[in-house]
Amino acid sequence: MQINTVGMDSQLSAPVLPPHTPVNEALGAMLDAGTTAVMIADGNDLRGILTRGDVLRYLYLRKTQHSTVEQIMTSELIAVGPDEMVCDAIETMKRHAIGHLPVIASGRLVGLLRITDVLMHQIDLQHEEIKQLQEYIQTLQNAEHD
């Protein structure tokens, strides 16, 4: 299964903010978008990702009132392409202990893959498989009665 088949944030409901955005505004953007990460870009130049984990680590160490996202974001981005396999993306997330992967195509940000996207997609696939198996069993049972 390829990443582009998973219901990732391809509409980029995860906000894209400039590097000098105050942290409190980034937190507000996360809350407004109902997401746990924002992408940090300077125009078309993707600079980093700010996750809930980044903010929590920073809060543990100091206050964020006068800080910008550039000061606390993860700047060493680990990203995937839309045609990569989901199992490889999961392995990347596991290896780096991260829950978000920017999806990059032709050097541009096209989405944000979250571990929750992958899990929800897997659950949907399992529900569909269960439904198909139940229909098959029903067909077999009906054939026995005929």
User: What domains appear along the chain, each with residue ranges and CATH number?
Assistant: 3-145 (3.10.580.10)
Average pLDDT over residues 89-112: 90
Quickly state the pLDDT bin for 6 (edges 50, 70, 90). Answer: low
pTM summary value: 0.57
20 pLDDT higher than 90: yes
pLDDT attached to residue 9: 47
CA-based nearest residue to 100, from 15, 18, 42: 15
Environment class of 33 (CB within 10 Å of its CB; exposed 0-12, middle 13-18, buried 19+): middle
Q: How far apart are CA 102 and CA 112, in angstroms?
A: 4
CA 40 to chain centre: 14
Average pLDDT over residues 136-146: 85
